[in-house]
Amino acid sequence: MIRPLLRRLALAVSLTALSTVAFAAGPLSYDLTPTRVGPDTYVFVGSTEHFTRANGGNILNAGFIVTSDGVIVIQTGPSRRYGEEMRAAIRRVTDTPIRKVFISNLHPDYFLGAQAFTDVPIAALPGTIAGIQEEGHGIADNMYRLVGDWMRGTEVVVPTEPVFGSTVVFGDHRLRLIPLNGHTAADLALLDETTGILFTGGVVFCDRTPTTPHADIAAWLKELDALDALDNVRLVVPNHGHIRPDKACVGQTRDWLTWLDGTLRAAVEAGLDMTDALELPIPDRFAGLDVLRAEYRRSVAHLWPKIERESLPRVH
């Protein structure tokens, strides 16, 4: 009799503790705070982790520019909740209406907050629009599995306006739209020629290991060279990682991708299998990259099959 009673008492105490923790935690919130990084320009600095239920998918550097002709939003975050909180945070900075939203690629943290902005044009490269149309629902389903209740009510919104490489003027700001590819099939970078601030649109990571689920490494390396050649860049806002007043992380991303591609190709040529490749040593110079070993292993899984097909002779 005593033992069942003690078990019931322990269960009751545990449930009470859990409900107290849940009550103390309150409703989920990203607590978004815009950081001013230059004239009229703000960034919501994200974590350098993977998507988790703890961070709600908040791992991206989304941003906005307050022009004299309206606010320009760059990325919308990983969920409807994020988009709504982002819009509320923008309102705390300015009552200037939002003029346009730019989405840089089809990865979830770039576009799944777009429900909060359906009253304004949402612009993206044609390849991004096609990618979201084709893969968007699967991407959203995966985010529901990864971050859970943060995604409540999130539905896919496809960008409404195709854009191409051009320079557009919004009030007192000139934005150069730079179409790239490599990180995905379509990556849109934006250079504000008025301030010299470059939003890198998916192809630059800074002190965070690059992700490769849609990567074409050779194309990506060419696009990094193109960004490195840009003049009058005063500040680089990477898609993930630390904001810098130089292009050092363009080189850092190039270094990682060059090593990764060369290492995996050498492993195939040496007759290693993918299991062996997962445990290969990583040079010490990359030790400062966040989520290093985990992201390396993900990249092996993403890239190995294609490299193996390209490297091994066909048997007829």
Task: Report the DSSP pairing between strands 197-199 and 235-237.
Answer: parallel
Mean pLDDT of the chain: 92
pLDDT in tens, 179-195: 999 999 999 999 999 99
> What six digits make up the tokens of 202?
């998916």
pLDDT of residue 5: 36
Question: Which residues have C-beta within 8 Å of that of residue 185, sequence separation ≥ 6?
Answer: 127, 131, 214, 216
CA atoms of 97 and 84, how far apart (whole Å): 15
- Mean per-residue pLDDT, 127-143: 98
Spatial strand order of the sheet with 173-180 comes to: 166-170, 173-180, 187-192, 197-199, 235-237
Q: Quick: pLDDT tens for 108-126.
A: 999 999 999 999 999 999 9
pLDDT at 108: 97
Alpha helices in 157-243 (DSSP H): 217-228
What does pTM read for this prediction?
0.90
Burial of 6 (0-12, 13-18, 19+ CB in 10 A): exposed
pLDDT band at 315 (very low <50, low <70, confident <90, very high): low
- pLDDT tens figures, 15-40: 333 333 333 345 799 999 999 999 99
User: For the residues 221-236, what does the mean pLDDT come to?
Assistant: 97
